[in-house]
Structure formats: C-alpha cells, structure tokens
Amino acid sequence: MFVETIQPAFETPSTVNLIAMKKIIYVTDALDLHLENLEFAGYIAGLAKSKLLAVFLENDESEMRTDSMIKTAAVNAGLNVTDEPVTLKQHTCDANIQRFRTACESKGIDCAVHRDRGNPLAELILESRYADLLLLNVGTSFSANREGTPSDFVKDVMGNAECPVVIMPASFEGIDELVFTYDGKASSIHAIKQFTYLFPQLNELKTVVISINPEDVTPEERYKFREWMHAHYNYLDFLSTEGNVKMGLVELLYDRSKSFIVMGAYGRNLLSNFFSPSHADPVIKMVSQAVFIAHH
Amino acid sequence: MKKILAVFDGLKFSDSTLQYAVKLGIQHDALITGVFLEDPTYTSRGIYQLYNEKEYAYDSVKDLVREDRQERDAAVDRFEKACKEASVNYLVHRDRELAIRDLLKESRYADLLLIDVSESMTRYTEDPPTHFVKEILAGARCPVLILPQHFSDIKKVFWLYDGSPVSIYAFKMFSYLLPVLSALPLEVLTVDLPEVTLYNDMVKELIALHTPQANYHLLKGVPEVEIPRFMRKQEKDSLLILGAYQRGALSMLFKTSMADVLVKEHQWPLFVAHNK
C-alpha cells in the first residue's frame, strides 16, 4: 500500500463548481415500501441537488403474489383489510405512495412519483435509459417465494439497467469513505468513472482503491490509472491482496463502515455468468454498505 | 479535476486543438494532457524525396531526423507555453510507439479526448474523416470531441437525438463532463422517426433536469441530408452532441454514421460518445 502524488503545474485561480442536476430514481415495489432506505436516498438526492423521483412498480400485468401476501402488504401499509383483492391492491399502492410523500415531506426531500403498471423489469429498464441513477432496495422481489439477497429481480436490474445502480444500505449514518474496486478491466474503470461523474463533490472524502492480485495489471497501466485517480481524488489509499478474488473482496470490504463501495462488472451474458458469477453478488450479500454498480 | 487528452501531431501542429484545450481547461478546471504521438515510422518526408539526393543520402537522413525532432520539440514547447500562460494544469506525454494503439489505451484513463478533424498522423492529407479519426471514434474508451480547424467560442449546444440508448448516453456524458457548456441553451434536434416520438415525456423530463432551457426541432426527411442542411443555417459557434459509432465493421460498411456525415462539413465541434 502506498500513496503517490502528481504535482500539478499550477494551482488554478478559480475552481468551477457547477453541479448539474441529476435524474435520480428511487425504485420501489408499490406493495412493499421500505422507508428505512429513505434517509440514504435523501442524502444522495441532496448531494446532487436534485429531486428524488420515485418509481412505484405496481406489476398489474403479471402479479404472482397470493392474496394473503397482498393482505399482509395492505396491513403493512396501515390499511384495514375489507376490500376485494384487486381493489385492495390498488388501495395499498395508493396508501404506500401517500406514506412515501409524507415521509419525504417530513425529511425535507423534494420528491415526485411515477406509477408504472406494466412488467416491473421492462418498465424499470426503460426508466433507467432516461435516468442518471437508480436507487434500489436489495430485497426488491416480485416473486411469490422467499428469495435470498440479492433477489433475481435485483440481479436482472443490475445486469440490464442503462444507468448505474445503487444498492441502498438498510441503515445510514453518513459516508466517511469511498471504496473503489479495480481490476484493470474495462468495466471496473467504467464504474469508477461513472461514479466520479455523478458525485464529483465527494472527492474530498478518504478514498480507498482495492485490487485483488494487482500484478495482473501491467505497471504502465497501473501508473495511468493512478494518474487519473489523483486528478479526481485528493485523499487516496491503495490496498491490495493476493489470492481468490471473491474471498479477497469480502475480506477487504467486510469490516468497513460508513463506506460507499463502487464495483464494475455485472456480467450480463448468461454463459459467462454461469461460469464466473458476478463478484458483486457475494459483496452485496455480505456487506451492509451502499454498493454502486455500473456495467459496461 | 477532469483529465482531458489533447492529441497533437508534432509535425503538423493543430492550433485549433490547442485553443480548445486551453479554453476547456480554464472553463472546467481540467488537467490537460498533451499527447504527442511520435511514431518513428512517420516522418515529414517520404523515401522518394531522399532518393534524388542519394549521394548525400546518409547525411541528409540524419539532418531530416534532426529537423523532425526539432519540430516536435517546438510543438511541445508551444503547448507548454500556452498552458502556462493560461494557468492551466497540464502534463505532456510523448509517445514513441505506434500511434493509434497507444492512444486508445491512454483514453481508458481519460475523461475526454480532443482531436482535430483533419489529424491523419501521416504525411499525406486525407479528406475528413481520416482513417486515424475514424479509428479513434470507434475505439476510444472515453467520449471524443472532434474539433474543426478553426477555433470559435462555443455559445450554443445541439443534441442530435434519435431515440437510441446511445444518443441518450452521449447526452448524459456531455452534461457530466462539460457542466459549463451544458448550462448553455440546448437545442434538441430530432428527425421524424417512429422510435423518437415514443418516449417523449421521459426524455423531456431528463432534459428539463439537466439544462435550464431547451428548444425542440423536429425535422422531416432523411437524417443524413436534413441535419447537415439544418445545421448549415445555424451559427458557427455551436457544438453538436451525438451518440454512437457502430463498432462492427459490417454495420459500418452498410450504414454511414451520422458522425461521418457531419465530420465532412468540418464546421462544428462534435461531441461523440459510445457506450460499448
């Protein structure tokens, strides 16, 4: 682990600090709203000086959940269960949207709501094309069965979204450090760049770059990477370990707190996924920090 | 601090690239890396020019190599001087290997690449788009700004929106990378295609969040004809954003890219990004 600095030729007289607004989407299952994420979402929207746009996925076309699950959802949303299932679902969605708006208001978050009624995945991928960032709850699942984390829906979104995705942490107490994972591949660089463009104002935070088997990348390339990192971040640390990538990642990421983890490479093609499942999955499963994922 | 690569040919120094680089450096507080490609197989003179003077050939080759080296050094000096005068942070990379491959590698660790439209990295002049520029467009790992041969301060931004994911990607990248320019008035230019009208509201929402004011122009007809015709009527101080350059050789063979068409006009800076 070592730190190197590049001496800029001059200190520029004026710094341009224009922060453009971003389109940030808070994704939620209309029946299963997790308001504990809102603290984090509000923080992100505030960083980007943007409105929080909530997309409520109602999944009317292909609802697979049983009536009793919908009843549970209705109770969670604070409704009395007296209606027929179909109207009950409508009311639950409405109630959740109202809960969301109230919560945003009390936290001072400027919000707007989109209701998407069709197939959740298709709707969301389309939304992502016109968005800068998706904020996603790790357990979002439209399935009738219990699923592990990340759920299949979350995996599909991460693999197909046309903008970066953030898996929100369950609890949030601020961000103290950024953690980038770097393996020299195009997708890890792409993720780091996208993160940097979306959150240029985080460049004063402590920044850790993690590489597993750093010798795999040529010295010349590592040098150029460092040059780029130093141009963008002010407090850099490089950490590395040898051996198995998955184990190494989990080991280096497990004990962190208040960090924002940035990962590339969410394999989108099935075959390669089959042979080497994404490195992001175990990280998302084991680590309760915010995880930023962009694929190429 | 963003890292912008400005590509120079030391033997045919592009003033326009230098001026745009310095301007963007000041505007966006960027680190400008002057990349001087000094491919040893590329000299200012061809072999037949030496052939006539065969008696003194050995000496004259040495002289010519020296002259070329001096010219390349002078180009680097000019770049350094201009950056110093404008107080822009800069680095110099002099690359002595095969030009294109190294540049593409370098672009991986850069945020934006600036190149003059007429850059060919050979002794010959080619009609734009040159092979060199084409290869950069297809292979660059960061967005590319293709510059006209004459500098003019950018006052207006046009986005060529064709409904494709890549054109939206280009727009997003533009607003991330050049926030000062994306605060300028935006003109969204579309040609009447079935896929364009489909998601109009979502696109408008995205634009509204990113830019203070936007105007929409809907053209009718063949994009490759109508867009250049429309643009010719506009002021010269405009920048164009467009997505895409198809990577596949086959698709390039059958379909000329809009970037090729616009490059031929060589009037406006073109911001080109692809996400593959």
Interface contact flag, A130 B203, Cβ < 8 Å? yes
The confidence score (pLDDT) of residue B163 equals: 80
Cis peptide before B129, with omega less than 30 degrees from 0?
yes
When mean pLDDT is compared across A270-279, B211-220, B261-270, the lowest value belongs to A270-279
All residues of chain B having their beta carbon less than 8 Å from the beta carbon of residue A162 are: 165, 168-169
List, in sequence order, the alpha helices (H) in B38-141.
47-51, 57-85, 99-108, 131-139
With cut-offs at 50, 70 and 90, classify the pLDDT of residue A93. Answer: very high
- One fold for B3-147 and B156-272: yes
Average pLDDT, chain A: 83
Interface contact flag, A51 B108, Cβ < 8 Å? no
Q: In Å, how far from its chain's centre is CA A248?
A: 21
Q: Which residue of B has its CA nearest to A51?
A: B209
The predicted-structure confidence for A224-235, as pLDDT tens digits, reads as follows 999 999 999 999
A269 touches chain B (CB under 8 A): no
Interface contact flag, B176 A198, Cβ < 8 Å? yes
The Cα A124–Cα A89 span in angstroms is 20
Q: How far is B240 from chain A (nearest CA, A)?
A: 19
CATH superfamily of the B156-272 domain: HUPs (3.40.50.620)
Q: Distance between terminal CA atoms of chain A?
A: 28
Interface contact flag, A51 B106, Cβ < 8 Å? no
B99: tokens are 């030009």
Interface contact flag, A10 B87, Cβ < 8 Å? yes
CA atoms within 13 A on the CB side of B256: 12
Specify the DSSP class assigned to residue A231: H
Whether residue A248 has pLDDT greater than 60: yes
The confidence score (pLDDT) of residue A21 equals: 81
Tracing tokens 């007296």 back to the chain, one arrives at: A82
Which ipTM value was assigned to this complex?
0.85
Please enumerate residues of B whose Cβ is less than 8 A from a Cβ of A: 1-3, 26-29, 31, 83-84, 87-91, 105-106, 108-111, 141-142, 165, 168-169, 172-173, 175-177, 179-180, 182-183, 199, 202-203, 205-206, 209-210, 275-276
The predicted-structure confidence for B170-214, as pLDDT tens digits, reads as follows 999 999 999 899 889 899 988 877 666 666 788 888 898 888 788
The confidence score (pLDDT) of residue B49 equals: 63
Domain residue extents for chain B: 3-147, 156-272
Interface contact flag, A16 B179, Cβ < 8 Å? yes
Whether residue A237 has pLDDT greater than 60: yes
Interface contact flag, B210 A127, Cβ < 8 Å? no
Specify the DSSP class assigned to residue B49: H
Whether residue B264 has pLDDT greater than 80: no
B40: tokens are 């040893």
The Cα A111–Cα A235 span in angstroms is 33
When mean pLDDT is compared across A70-84, B188-202, B231-245, the lowest value belongs to B188-202
CA atoms within 13 A on the CB side of B230: 20
Q: Compute the average pLDDT of residues B45-49.
A: 64
Tracing tokens 């405009």 back to the chain, one arrives at: B238
Interface contact flag, B84 A9, Cβ < 8 Å? yes
A13 touches chain B (CB under 8 A): yes
Q: Compute the average pLDDT of residues B125-133.
A: 79
All residues of chain B having their beta carbon less than 8 Å from the beta carbon of residue A228 are: 3, 109-110
The confidence score (pLDDT) of residue B250 equals: 42
Q: Which residue of B has its CA nearest to A203?
A: B1
The Cα B84–Cα B157 span in angstroms is 29
CATH superfamily of the B3-147 domain: HUPs (3.40.50.620)
**Best to test chain B binding among A11, A15, A23, A128 (most B CBs inside 10 Å):** A23
Buried b (16+ CB within 10 A) or exposed e, B176-194: bbbbebbbbebbbbbbeee
When mean pLDDT is compared across A20-24, A165-169, B183-187, the lowest value belongs to A20-24
Determine what percent of chain B is predicted with pLDDT higher than 70.
Answer: 85
**What are the backbone angles phi and psi of residue B122, rounded to the nearest 5°?**
-135, 175
Asked whether the beta carbons of B12 and B130 are under 8 A apart, the reply is no
Asked whether the beta carbons of A250 and A286 are under 8 A apart, the reply is yes
| Position with higher pLDDT, B35 vs B46 | B35
Interface contact flag, B206 A130, Cβ < 8 Å? yes
Cis peptide before A150, with omega less than 30 degrees from 0?
yes
Interface contact flag, A189 B109, Cβ < 8 Å? yes
All residues of chain B having their beta carbon less than 8 Å from the beta carbon of residue A296 are: 275-276
Interface contact flag, A221 B105, Cβ < 8 Å? yes
Q: How far is A275 from chain B (nearest CA, A)?
A: 22
Contacts of B172 (CB under 8 A, 6+ apart): A132, A163
The confidence score (pLDDT) of residue B211 equals: 83
A227 touches chain B (CB under 8 A): yes
Its pTM stands at 0.87
The Cα A180–Cα A140 span in angstroms is 25
The confidence score (pLDDT) of residue A10 equals: 37
| Position with higher pLDDT, B197 vs B222 | B222
- The length of chain A in residues reads 296
Q: How far is B262 from chain A (nearest CA, A)?
A: 25
